[in-house]
Amino acid sequence: MNPPTHPPFFAVAEASREALADRLRRAGQRATPQRLVILGALRPGEHLSADEVFARVEPLLPGVNRSTVYRTLELFRDLGLVSETDLGAGVRQFEPLDGRHHHLVCHFCGARIELDDALVAPLREAIQARYGFAAGIDHLALFGRCAACERGAEGAGGADPAGGSR
């Protein structure tokens, strides 16, 4: 049996607790202890499924209902506190939104590359200019084939050891 690995959010410092509460209040929501625990279970850079979030918060919120956790995540999403994205695993994954970031996801090997928002900003602006629509492109995932797999696909065609092209 592996010992349970407790992520560092178990030791959420008072200061960051206050910051979480502040985010909720600024969104016009009550900062209940339960909400703070759920929001605190999410970390920037991690994409967690609703089930993974539930698994993290359950030990801290004895008797918490799975659907309560799901609804709270959806509330956070609607408030713009977290992003909800399908990164190709076929499940919704949640991540706190501390500013914009985007992903390029390789369908072949699963590699994820961070996509610079500087490339996405012109799209946002063009949509605004053309449709008067403020697109909330805060967390974009684009799917395709990464450079390594692209090279692999080329090589797989011939498998010619004397190819010589570099």
User: Which regions of 65-140 does DSSP assign to beta strands (E)?
Assistant: 82-86, 92-96, 102-106, 112-115
Cβ–Cβ under 8 Å, residues 96 and 136: no
Of the pair 108, 133, the CB lying nearest Zn ion is at: 108
Cβ–Cβ under 8 Å, residues 77 and 84: yes
- CA distance linking residue 57 with residue 69, whole number of Å: 9
Q: Does 149 bind Zn ion (CB under 5 A)?
A: yes
Q: Which range in 4-12, 63-71, 94-102, 129-137 contacts Zn ion by CB under 5 A?
A: 94-102
Cβ–Cβ under 8 Å, residues 136 and 122: no
CB of 88 to Zn ion, least distance (A): 11
Q: With residue 79 as reference, give the H or E element that holds it.
A: none
Token pair for residue 7? 């992520």
Of the pair 18, 98, the CB lying nearest Zn ion is at: 98
CB of 30 to Zn ion, least distance (A): 27
Cβ–Cβ under 8 Å, residues 101 and 114: yes
Of the pair 20, 95, the CB lying nearest Zn ion is at: 95
CB of 120 to Zn ion, least distance (A): 13
CB of 114 to Zn ion, least distance (A): 8
Q: Does 104 bind Zn ion (CB under 5 A)?
A: no
Q: Does 143 bind Zn ion (CB under 5 A)?
A: no
Question: Contact positions toward Zn ion, by CB under 5 A?
Answer: 95, 106, 108-109, 111, 146, 149
